[in-house]
């Protein structure tokens, strides 16, 4: 029995290696805390990469609180066969897979213990047919959990991007996420500050709502800043996040350089 399970795990890991061998760069996007806009940042980076002509996939690993499909207005169910499961493709061409696409209804909750969640992560890695991709972005759940451990132990990530909001820049919880990445030997690429500033609707001037705190207390570079913008929440609600225009050239340069 034990050897049978071992054999199954070995086959699963072989499948994971085979799928991942077709993917250029594998980037995890995480945050120490929920609600800082991690999924928004993941969606905006994916959309920017697609606009640069890249083949991009997003795996929503926030198993118990998936929100990526909603932001892209996807409610189509993925097609599955014995070969695996096909991601759903967004309007601009981003391949998306998420637990919420597999549930009968968007409102259904996933109430699972750690081992079940880890199992779902491994299964996503082994079974989703991404094909050839330039980038696969992993939207992680907040904090440091089974998902992060399973992911980082199953595949070799090329980098880890931390998302914070200005109020949480110095939070211990963010530092924990970073130290876990470091412990698991994943390169921390930097921090994306979400809701970093607001733009005056009349004159376009940038307003630092949370003060001019450029002080980087985490000791990692800030590689991108995203404004707090009602247009972002509106597009999220409408499922049209890929329509948001923002220059993420700084992040792109870092990802391209990996
Ligand atoms: P997390 O993944 O960290 O839990 P989300 O990315 O799901 O957070 O963001 C939650 C909600 O916050 C979004 O649906 C959106 O309405 C709002 N939001 C996030 N970032 C911004 C922003 N920069 N400007 C305006 N609203 C935002």
Segment 5-26, tens digit of pLDDT:
899 999 999 999 999 999 999 9
Q: Residue 257: pLDDT band by 50, 70, 90 thresholds?
A: very high
The residue to mutate among 236, 245, 246, having the most atoms of ligand 1 within 8 angstroms of its beta carbon, is 236
Instruction: State percent of the chain over pLDDT 70.
Output: 93
Instruction: Quote the CA–CA distance of 160 and 188 in Å, as a whole number.
Output: 5
Is residue 218 classed as helix, strand or coil in its secondary structure? coil
Question: Can you tell me the mean pLDDT for 93-107?
Answer: 88
Residue nearest to atom 27 of ligand 1 (CA): 233
* CATH class name, domain 2-256: alpha beta
Question: Of 128, 178, 156, whose CA–CA distance to 25 is shortest?
Answer: 156
Q: Residue 2: pLDDT band by 50, 70, 90 thresholds?
A: low
Q: Concatenate the DSSP letters of all residues of 149-197 into one string.
A: HHHHHHS--SEEEEEE-GGGTT-HHHHHHHHHHHHTT--EEEEEEET--
Which are the contacts of 224, defined by CB distance < 8 A and separation ≥ 6?
A: 41, 190, 192, 193, 248, 250, 251
Is residue 141 classed as helix, strand or coil in its secondary structure? coil
Instruction: Quote the CA–CA distance of 20 and 17 in Å, as a whole number.
Output: 5
- Cβ(161)–Cβ(49) under 8 Å? no
pLDDT at position 1 over 60: no
Is residue 213 classed as helix, strand or coil in its secondary structure? coil
Instruction: Write out residues with Cβ below 6 Å of ligand 1.
Output: 31, 34-40, 67, 194-195, 226, 228-229, 232-233, 236
CA–centroid distance, 41 to ligand 1, in Å, is 8
Residue nearest to atom 19 of ligand 1 (CA): 37
Q: The tokens 């996503």 sit on which residue? A: 124
Would the pTM count as exceeding 0.75? Answer: yes
Q: Higher model confidence: residue 164 or residue 27?
A: 27
Sequence length of the chain is 258
Question: Can you tell me the mean pLDDT for 148-168?
Answer: 90
Query: Domain spans of the chain?
Result: 2-256
H-run or E-run covering 138: strand 133-139
Question: Of 94, 110, 114, whose CA–CA distance to 102 is shortest?
Answer: 110
pLDDT at position 198 over 80: yes
CA–centroid distance, 15 to ligand 1, in Å, is 34
CA–centroid distance, 225 to ligand 1, in Å, is 14
pLDDT of amino acid 212 = 59
pLDDT of amino acid 218 = 65
pLDDT of amino acid 175 = 78
Mean pLDDT of the chain: 89
Residue nearest to atom 16 of ligand 1 (CA): 233
pLDDT of amino acid 200 = 85
pLDDT of amino acid 106 = 67
Q: Residue 121: pLDDT band by 50, 70, 90 thresholds?
A: very high
Segment 199-252, tens digit of pLDDT:
888 888 888 877 655 555 567 888 999 999 999 999 999 999 999 999 999 999
Q: Higher model confidence: residue 39 or residue 106?
A: 39
Residue nearest to atom 22 of ligand 1 (CA): 228
CA–centroid distance, 63 to ligand 1, in Å, is 17
């Amino acid at each position: 029995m034990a050897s049978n399970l071992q054999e199954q795990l070995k086959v699963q890991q072989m499948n994971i290696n085979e799928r991942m061998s077709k993917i250029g760069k594998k980037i995890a996007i995480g945050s120490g805390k929920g609600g800082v806009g991690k999924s928004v940042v993941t969606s905006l980076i994916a959309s920017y990469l697609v606009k640069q002509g890249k083949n991009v996939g997003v795996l929503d690993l926030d198993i118990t609180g998936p929100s990526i499909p909603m932001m892209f207005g996807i409610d189509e169910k993925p097609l599955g066969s014995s070969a695996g499961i096909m991601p759903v493709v967004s309007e601009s061409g981003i391949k998306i897979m998420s637990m919420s696409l597999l549930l009968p209804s968007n409102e259904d909750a996933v109430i699972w213990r750690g081992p079940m969640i880890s199992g779902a992560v491994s299964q996503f890695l082994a079974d989703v047919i991404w094909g050839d991709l330039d980038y696969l972005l992993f939207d992680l759940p907040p904090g440091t959990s089974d998902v992060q451990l399973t992911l980082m132990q199953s595949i070799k990530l090329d980098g880890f991007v931390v998302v914070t909001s200005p109020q949480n820049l110095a939070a211990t919880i963010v530092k924990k996420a970073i130290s876990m990445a470091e412990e698991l030997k994943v390169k921390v690429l930097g921090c994306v500050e979400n809701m970093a500033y607001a733009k005056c609707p009349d004159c376009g001037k940038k307003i630092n709502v949370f003060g001019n705190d450029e002080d980087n207390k985490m000791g990692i570079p800030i590689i991108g800043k995203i404004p707090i913008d009602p247009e972002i929440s509106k597009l999220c609600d409408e499922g049209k996040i890929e329509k948001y225009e923002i220059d993420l050239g700084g992040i792109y340069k870092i990802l391209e350089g990996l």
